[in-house]
Amino acid sequence: QKEVEQNSGPLSVPEGAIASLNCTYSDRGSQSFFWYRQYSGKSPELIMFIYSNGDKEDGRFTAQLNKASQYVSLLIRDSQPSDSATYLCAVKGGGSGNTGKLIFGQGTTLQVKP
Amino acid sequence: DGGITQSPKYLFRKEGQNVTLSCEQNLNHDAMYWYRQDPGQGLRLIYYSQIVNDFQKGDIAEGYSVSREKKESFPLTVTSAQKNPTAFYLCASRTDRGRIGYTFGSGTRLTVV
């Protein structure tokens, strides 16, 4: 079973700080990596995706990918209370072919305290 | 606006009863997926379909059934064989063009009473 692992948290940071969320995956052939934000009782929404090693920035969010270490992270700069949510890491494995199946981690709960 | 519509938002099932969750999309997406989420857990794949009239089992298909008679629709039936159906059910779709992730519906919360 291909796995995606996240620390369930909660991760607590003060408002304005940088929140760092981490994810590791077991399938070395994984191709695409996604971060979803999920508010309590709501469905996940896509906030970042990354395919190549290195950093990808979008506003206050930066995704970082290291395929050699099988590690993907999400940094949230200037954290706001509205960022408080569960963040799901999802991976499209190398064995997914053209099915597009994503494997999800269990999510990390982020709490941003005013 | 294009999107995915799941209904109902809340559903209550009695023991031994089959129930069907609706999922409709107007995004012209080819692939559709059903996931189950338990409290504090990630999403687990139940079934998926890449084209009309074809679907495949995911990791936890036992006790569930699906159909894909139209591109827009991918209903999920939770049968009486599913012994622990209480969960949050999410439908998603994906275009074959590009490598963008899923678009999710708003979910159906199923409770056994």
Q: What is the mean pLDDT of residues B42-71?
A: 95
State the number of CA atoms in the 13 A half-sphere of B74 facing the CB.
33
Has residue B97 got a pLDDT over 80? no
The predicted pLDDT at position B39 comes to 85
Q: What is the pLDDT of residue B1?
A: 63
- Mean pLDDT across B29-48: 92
Low-confidence ranges of chain A (pLDDT < 50): none
Handedness of CA B21, B74, B31, B71 (dihedral sign): negative
The answer to whether the Cβ–Cβ distance between A36 and B96 falls below 8 Å is no
Residues of B in contact with A98 (CB under 8 A): 50, 96
DSSP result, B32-98: EEEEEE-TT--EEEEEEEEETTEEEE-TT-TTEEE--SBTTB--EEE-TT-S---EEEEEEEE-SSS
Q: Which residues of B touch A90 (CB under 8 A)?
A: 43, 101
Bridge partners (DSSP) listed for residue A63: A56, A74
Buried b vs exposed e over B65-102: b needs ≥16 C-beta within 10 Å? bbebeebbebbbebeeebeebebbbbbbbbeeeeeebb
Task: Give contacts of A106 with chain B, Cβ < 8 Å.
Answer: 40-42
Which of residues A72 and B112 earns the better pLDDT score? A72
Residue pair A108/A9 in contact by the 8 Å Cβ criterion: yes
Mark out chain B residues that contact chain A at CB-CB < 8 A.
31, 33, 35, 40-45, 48, 50, 56, 58-59, 90, 94, 96, 99-107
Measure the CA–CA gap between B98 and A22, rounded to whole angstroms: 25
pLDDT at B95 over 70: yes
Considering only CB atoms, A43 lies closest to which of B40, B42, B104, namely B104
Range of lowest pLDDT (A11-15, A29-33, B6-10, B86-90): A29-33
B44, B96, B104 ranked by CB distance to A44: nearest: B104
pLDDT of res. B107? 97
pLDDT at A2: 63
Q: Please tell me which of the candidates A31, A43, A46 has its beta carbon nearest to residue B90.
A: A43
* pLDDT for residue A106: 93
Contacts of B110 in chain A (CB under 8 A): none
